[in-house]
Amino acid sequence: MQNNRIFVDGRLIDAAALTDSQWAQLITANRDSVKRRLVKCAWCWQEDHVAHWMKTYSKADGTRVVSHQAGANTDHPYQVLESDEHRATCDRVERVWTAEGGTAIREATAADGKTRSDVLLIGDRQISYEMQHSPFKQGYGASERTRRALAAGRDHVAWHTDSAAVAQASQVAMLRSDRAPLALIENPRYELRMVGGYRIPHVWKCTAREGYRCPAGRFSGCGVTHLGTEPAAISLDEFVRAAPTGEVVPVLPLDRRGFWTTATGYGLWLEHSRQAVRLDGALAAAARKTRHVAEGHSRPRSAGPVDASGCLIPPCRFCGEPASLRGAEGAPEHWSCRREQETRGDAA
């Protein structure tokens, strides 16, 4: 059934889940749909804040139909209402960041009145967390929604899915975890590990003794310093604690090859990649095609972390690790370190 998500007198319901008697009553009450203004398309209202009053009727074979007025909009595919797993995941994200002293807002609407976030995480940066279980609507996918969110003032959009099909079809940096049952999602001691979308850049000198296959196809190596990435481990809770503080950032956020990495890893990637896209989305260099780099034994070259402008990232005044953001006093610091210091001060 298309267009199954509808508002009836302001209440969100699934038209496919109505009983036969409830459906018959709805058809009768909504006979003059434009004048009556009873049934509103939930998709159009929630995504675009546009009210489309829907027609409701049954075909001769008893098939239920909910449709837009002629020429109003295209029909939307069947979409389940927010599942228990979706709700539990968003609850967990909200709970983790709130426990860190940050602000988390569910179903936060931006100033444009159209952009919504499953959970808006507010720290040193504003992160729009989006959990996606089902395929995106054609013409309004992750790329369009990410651009809209960035234009509305969000710093980054953190897409997360538990579906391999969604991750493979996405055109954005997409975190992926395995599908977990509701009981495990609700269990704070259970780690929801990311199995895709989080990587660590590394560099190596292309010689025969380094153990990597030369991307240029030269058997003895080409002598050039190459950049590669490898999967890394991070849990959903760790990501939620790090993203609003700027400790993890997206690389190529609007590219299907995009991924999330540490601030240090981003600096290394920015220094060595010809595909470098800075955090503001400006193109730093022309993109080039890359070839697969085989695994091998390497001696990664170390590089000092740099920020988006190419300057060295100063150390946090609390822990000494690289901190690209500055606190109220103007000194570099991490949100988590400041909260820890404030907590110690309150305890004292």
pLDDT, tens digit (0-9, with 9 covering 90-100), for 278-323: 443 333 332 333 333 343 334 344 445 554 444 566 777 887 777 7
**Alpha carbon distance 144, 326 (integer Å):** 31
Q: 137: which 2 tokens?
A: 């609507």
| pTM as predicted | 0.62
Q: Is the pLDDT of residue 12 over 60?
A: yes
- Residue 245: partners with Cβ closer than 8 Å, 6 or more residues away: 123, 124, 125, 325, 334, 335, 336
Higher pLDDT residue, 163 or 291? 163
Higher pLDDT residue, 227 or 325? 227
Query: Please, what's the b/e burial string for 261-297 (b: 16 or more CB within 10 A of its CB; e: otherwise)?
Result: bbbbbbbbbbbbbebbbebeeeeeeeeeeeeebeeee
User: Which of 17-26, 307-316, 336-345 shows the highest mean pLDDT?
Assistant: 17-26
**Alpha carbon distance 67, 309 (integer Å):** 51
Q: Is the pLDDT of residue 127 over 90?
A: yes
Mean pLDDT of 248-253: 93
Residue the block writes with tokens 């500055």: 326
Whether residue 81 contacts residue 14, with contact meaning beta carbons closer than 8 Å, is answered with yes
Higher pLDDT residue, 155 or 271? 155
pLDDT at 302: 40
